[in-house]
Amino acid sequence: MPGLLIIPSIDIKDGKTVRVVQGIPDLNCKAYGNDPVEMAMIWRAENAKFLHVVDFNSSHEHSHKNFDLIAALCESVIIPVEFGGGISSLEEAREVMKLGIYRLVVGSLAFVNPKEFGKILEDVGPSKISAAIDVVDNQVVIHGRSQKIDISPLEYAKQLEKMGVQRCILTDVQRNGMLQGPNLELSKLIALETQMKITHSGGVSDVSDLKKLNEVVSLGIDSVIIGRALYENKFPCQKIWRKAESGLFD
């Protein structure tokens, strides 16, 4: 059985790599390095097989100021890159995919305009879409994690599945960047109650957390996005990827 896929996150604001804690980008993080393209190349050199890129200018301002940079990032590595950044229309989705993106992350649109989201699913293809489910206090949040909606994560996941979604990124926002351990029970619930593949996000702090996630790969939780813990060298990168790919974690 394949092991857990570890996906480094590169969060971008104003052309620079930023740290994100509970969904809030912080530009005052000099130790992380400023150049997203250089960061992508570093993670590739560390044997990453996939990258997760979030464009906060696109997400919060619908600005395309980072698009040339993201195109350069995609060109700089030979591995797939997924993009999240407030996609609001089929036209915008097509524009982003032209940057060299492999998979598109769509969040709020799936809830506020399911018809337009359906067009994106049909045009891009379900295998190239990840639906974002962001959660605060067991409620789904949208619009840059600023607005709670009256629906549980499980109910929303089932709605997405009925739309044709095959994969979701499940984030416990309160654990995002906090190094407090993953909300594994939430990911397991969605995995057990739907047929979607789950990319877990939020809370991973060390190798012990990865061991816990690796134990539930068979449920469909096949990948994990990691940000702060990687940037702050909470574990040796090469060792993690080598073990994750072999599925050993002994």
Please give the positions annotated as active site.
11, 134
Q: What is the DSSP string of 206-241?
A: SHHHHHHHHTTGGGTEEEEEE-HHHHTTSS-HHHHH
Phi-psi label, residue 144: left if phi above 0, alpha if psi -120 to 50, beta otherwise:
left
Q: In angstroms, rounded to a whole number, what is the distance separating the alpha carbons of residues 90 and 28?
A: 34
The DSSP 8-state label assigned to residue 126 in this structure reads: G
Tell the residue number behind the tokens 């990032």, with chain if given: 73
Question: Among candidates 114, 90, 95, which has minimal Cα distance to 55?
Answer: 95
**Could you tell me if 13 and 58 are in contact, meaning their C-beta atoms sit under 8 angstroms apart?**
no
Q: In angstroms, rounded to a whole number, what is the distance separating the alpha carbons of residues 146 and 201?
A: 18
Q: In angstroms, rounded to a whole number, what is the distance separating the alpha carbons of residues 102 and 128?
A: 7
What are 81's two structure tokens?
Answer: 């890159």
Dihedral of the alpha carbons of 122, 97, 149, 65, in degrees to the nearest 10? -150
SS3 state at 27: coil
